[in-house]
Amino acid sequence: MPSSAPPAPPKRVVLVDDSPAYAASWRAIFAERYGDRVVFEAYQDPVAALEKLGPGVDLLLVDLEMPVLDGRSVARFAKERGVSEKKIVIVSGHDADELHLLFPQGACLAVINKTEAQQQSAFLMILDSIVLRH
The verdict on residue 4 lying in a domain is: no
Q: Quick count: other Cβ atoms within 10 Å of Cβ 82?
A: 11
| Residue 127 φ then ψ, to 5° | -60, -45
The helix/strand/coil state of 133 is coil
pLDDT-wise least confident of 20-24, 52-56, 81-85, 90-94: 90-94
pLDDT tens track for 60-84: 999 999 988 899 999 999 999 999 9
The verdict on residue 54 lying in a domain is: yes
What's the CA gap between 16 and 32, in Å, rounded? Answer: 20
For the chain, what's the residue count?
134
What CATH number is attached to the domain comprising 59? Answer: 3.40.50.2300
Split into its structural domains, the chain has a count of 1
With beta carbons less than 8 A apart as the criterion, state whether 89 and 110 touch: yes
What's the CA gap between 56 and 24, in Å, rounded? Answer: 23
The verdict on residue 49 lying in a domain is: yes
Residue 62 belongs to domain spanning: 11-132
Say what the pLDDT of residue 84 is. 95
